[in-house]
Amino acid sequence: RRAMGRLHGAIALLVALLCGGAWSLLWAARLSHQIKFDRADRTEMDELQSPISDSAFYLSYFYDVARAPSLTEGLSRLLHDGRSEAPDTVNALHKFNVAPE
């Protein structure tokens, strides 16, 4: 019985160490990503040119609407997008699913 208790204790310690190690690796990966990409001194151009998936693509549409003088002008920019498939003009709201569901 005493040997079984020690075995259970050793297994519990091993599981705890593995969980702690996995958590530490995930935390270090997140910290590394945060240091690399989540800096306060980044300009808008840095954000738009950042190699993080398609987020920069959709962020450019956000800036188009946010910088527009009115909401109707911003929506017009999305409905008549001439940048993404130049020289053709496309409806970015429809083609790229820009509007949140």
Q: How far apart are the first and last CA of the chain?
A: 59
Integer Cα distance of 65 and 58 in angstroms: 11
Integer Cα distance of 18 and 24 in angstroms: 10
Look at the block and give the residue holding tokens 């945060």: 34
| Predicted local distance difference test score (pLDDT) of residue 49 | 63
pLDDT score of 39 more than 70: no
Integer Cα distance of 72 and 69 in angstroms: 9
**pLDDT per residue as tens digits for the range 12-28:** 999 999 999 998 888 88
pLDDT score of 72 more than 70: yes
